[in-house]
Chains A and B, each alone.
Chain A
Amino acid sequence: MSGTRDKSAPTSRRKRDAIRLPRVTLAHGGGGKAMRDLVDDVFVSVFDNPDLAPLEDQARFSLSALGQYGDRLAFTSDSFVVDPLEFPGGDIGKLAVCGTVNDLAVGGAKPLYLSCSVIIEEGTELTLLRRIAQSMARTAAEAGVSFVTGDTKVVTHGACDKLFINTAGIGVIRSGLDLGCHRAEPGDLIIVNGLLGDHGAAILGARGDMALSSPILSDCAPLNGLIDVLIAACPEVKFLRDATRGGVATVVNEIAEASGVGIELDDDATPIREEVRGFCEILGLDPLYLANEGRIVAVVPAAAGDRAIAALRSHGYGEGATVIGRVTPGPAGRVTMHTRFGGKRVVDMLIGEQLPRIC
């Protein structure tokens, strides 16, 4: 993002020697040389960019440069505490970038800058931290965003679970675009960009309790590129949200409630991988409530439906795009599903966490 930084600041930092200790100690959080070395070794070395280079206490942006992308700022923050840190299809670093990028993108914003704050448990392996930071850098490069500020804390053993990451992000919203949860109207289509529940199943599978023979890969992905394509082809799109915790079921309930409409989902049209269905059958879980990290729910007027689907399918992260339901006059706030079997059931908000059934 040339043009946004303070021109008098240095443009790149002197590389320090890599840390030789195998694990993080409390000394790395002390604010002295050890901490500088850790930050340089793990983060700055892979995040390096002109906006980060000055390493001031804050990142500085030129307002006029931001203005070229739109007329409103979008600002979001998300914390990541996933266990295990690395899982099939991703890791906590990739998740931390995708989560914040997607939260900006679904508001119609172009994501630009991220912060990266980490809380590290003493004893965490340096090699693990480096892998995760590299994964963050790779994902940020793919999404076209840069890390411009951050913070590192080290806590005593047991005070956190290896590594917690918070990322905040700033983006700029395209002029004239107004996406909102309250805008769904009877007749609108509910669209998703691919198979549902992969991330949730991947995480549960990776915890090792189930000893699955073939791992399910997380769908974790930065979706700003996909959303650009969708909005360009279909500016009538009314609402977008990434279906993370609580899954698609939670998002459609929020839409039904905020818009005062009903929503009817079609079980047959809901794309769920065979392995995920099997996984859910065994555990007594409902895939509609499983988390996704690379899936959006879009509300689109019926007349624009084919165009929206074609646009989504033209992008690598939207190949499985499909209509899963439609908006009805009511009852307001009620989501129902036509079951594959010919029956009909209510799809409600989840109360707490889904817990596996006994038998």
Chain B
Amino acid sequence: MRYVDEFRDADRAKVLLAEIDTVAAKAADRMGRTANIMEVCGGHTHSIFRYGIGDLLPKSIELVHGPGCPVCVLPMGRVDDCVAIAEEPNVIFATFGDAMRVPGSKKSLLQAKAEGADIRMVYSPLDALALARANPEKEVVFFGLGFETTMPSTAMTVLQAEADGTKNFSLFCNHITIIPTMKAILEDPGLQLDGFLGPGHVTMVIGLEPYDFIGATYNKPVVIAGFEPLDVLQSVWMVMRQLAEGRAEVENQYGRIVPKGGNPVARDAITRVFEVRDFFEWRGLGSIEHSGVKMRAAYAQFDAERRFAVPDVKVADPEACQCGDVLKGIIKPRQCRVFGTACTPETPLGALMVSSEGACAAYYQYGPRSGDEPEKANAA
């Protein structure tokens, strides 16, 4: 595949890995310990596991899998709300596929569908709008989730519904925003991170400027990274080079997609439709100030939270679940007390086991097992 295979070239990877070795040695001299780099985005986690990148890196670099999987950080209470809306008579509930399996306190959307709720899997919010037009006698609710990557398309869909006068379409808004959450992680007293691979597609929308505080206040380097394996390696090299040189700046590895200023048109659509919530609940991380958005009053007619009576009950994460510690990089998935026992992709207890982008599911699916050579993560 053109424009894809070039970024998966094994020979180029070898050259980059040799360069990473060199700068990692310099960084280790300077830091005197392993460098912990968090890849913020679930897309990176997926690539890292799919291509076996973790094993290719020198032992002095540890990758920590961050909170950037919107499906993973969805709290149980919100899933319960989804189920409640979906089970209303006369509702068609449209959702992205991988949100179907996320466990609620009683059931997942997949279970609700089996019990008779009309839940449809869509690939884009526009598919949901098309459903609304095709079923004028039904109420079609789209389950909007994701970071700034998916926010513009949801916003544009709402604007489209407004423009063409579609009355039976609404959005259950669970969009979240990454910067406040990175801040919350940086404020955590248990923090052991030295740098970040920044989320490429979020940054394509928001631009580089929102990350400046990470260098300025917390003295950590950030490299906005693409998702192909060579992108990830080059980004790791860029972070390590900063650590070796004692710099803490925002650099952009993903220049072919991410303009410095982001995408102002997309941001305008977001700002027209959404406003920041005071707090939003994240699974494993708790309530984080200004970390989610809701629909503005002007679009109340398209807001499922206003149109349907949702239970809106906070449900505590299961006690045994250590998703929060994994998300913050304090423990590795396998060090969680329920990993692979009470919590498996088949019966996920914590959200990180649900989506293929969740760190625990990726570990479970792609990672080494007992009987393999000792795992680098635990050896470090």
Contacts and interface: CB of A to CB of B under 8 A. Distances in A.
A binds B: yes
Interface of A: 209-210, 274, 277-278, 281, 283-284, 330-332, 334, 339-346, 348, 351-352, 355-359
Contact of B100 (A283, A284, A355): A355
B150 to A, nearest CB: 6
A29 to B, nearest CB: 26
Contacts of A331: 369, 371-372
A343 B110 CA distance: 34
Contacts of A209: 122-123, 127
B43 to A, nearest CB: 7
A346 B369 contact: yes
Contacts of B298: none
A281 B98 CA distance: 15
Interface in B33-90: 43, 46, 49-56, 70-71
Given A339-B50, A339-B52, A345-B366, A358 B71 contact: yes
Contacts of B215: none
Nearest to B127: A209
Given A339-B50, A341-B10, A344-B52, A356 B98 contact: yes
A344 B10 CA distance: 13
Contacts of B147: 359
Given A330-B371, A345-B51, A346-B365, A356 B10 contact: no
Contact of A357 (B13, B201, B357, B369): B357
B53 A343 contact: yes
Contacts of A278: 1, 4
A340 B14 CA distance: 12
Kindly name the residue among A209, A210, A345, A358 whose own CB sees the greatest number of chain B CB atoms within 10 A: A358
28 contacts: A209-B122, A277-B1, A330-B371, A331-B371, A334-B369, A334-B372, A341-B13, A341-B229, A343-B52, A343-B229, A344-B55, A345-B49, A345-B50, A346-B365, A346-B369, A352-B101, A355-B98, A355-B121, A356-B96, A356-B123, A357-B46, A357-B356, A358-B70, A358-B97, A358-B146, A359-B146, A359-B147, A359-B150
Nearest to A332: B371
A358 B1 contact: no
Contacts, number: 103
B8 interface: yes
A358 to B, nearest CB: 4
In the complex, the 9 A-B pairs of residues with the closest C-beta atoms, listed nearest first: A343-B52, A355-B97, A331-B371, A356-B97, A341-B51, A358-B96, A351-B345, A345-B366, A344-B52
Interface string B224-244: 000001000000000000000
Interface string B110-132: 10000000000111000100000
Nearest to B57: A343
Kindly name the residue among A281, A332, A356 whose own CB sees the greatest number of chain B CB atoms within 10 A: A356
Contacts of A277: 1
B51 A339 contact: yes
B145 interface: yes
B361 to A, nearest CB: 9
B13 A334 contact: no
A357 B367 contact: no
B355 to A, nearest CB: 7
B137 interface: no
B253 interface: no
A358 B355 CA distance: 10
A340 B52 contact: no
Given A209-B122, A344-B55, A355-B98, 16 more contacts: A274-B1, A284-B98, A284-B356, A334-B369, A334-B371, A340-B10, A341-B56, A343-B52, A345-B51, A345-B366, A346-B368, A355-B100, A356-B123, A358-B146, A359-B147, A359-B201
Interface string B2-21: 00100010100110000000
Contacts of A359: 43, 70, 146-147, 149-150, 201
B42 to A, nearest CB: 8
B346 interface: yes
Per DSSP, are chain A's interface residues mostly helix, strand or loop, or mixed? loop
Contacts of A210: 123
A346 B52 CA distance: 9
A356 B229 CA distance: 20
A209 B130 CA distance: 12
A324 B266 CA distance: 44
A82 B223 CA distance: 46
Nearest to B199: A359
Nearest to A286: B50
Nearest to B49: A345
A341 B121 contact: no
A209 B366 CA distance: 29
Nearest to B149: A359
A253 to B, nearest CB: 12
Contacts of B14: 342
Nearest to B53: A343
Contacts of B346: 351-352
Nearest to B366: A345
B200 to A, nearest CB: 11
Kindly name the residue among B10, B46, B52 whose own CB sees the greatest number of chain A CB atoms within 10 A: B52
A341 B8 contact: yes
Contacts of A344: 52, 55
A345 B56 CA distance: 11
Given A277-B1, A357-B357, A358-B71, A343 B97 contact: no
Contacts of B10: 340-342
A331 B373 CA distance: 10
B71 A345 contact: no
Given A277-B1, A331-B372, A357 B355 contact: yes
A358 B150 contact: yes
Nearest to A342: B10
A58 to B, nearest CB: 37
A240 to B, nearest CB: 27
B8 A340 contact: yes
Contacts of B178: none
B212 to A, nearest CB: 25
Contacts of A358: 70-71, 96-99, 145-146, 150, 355
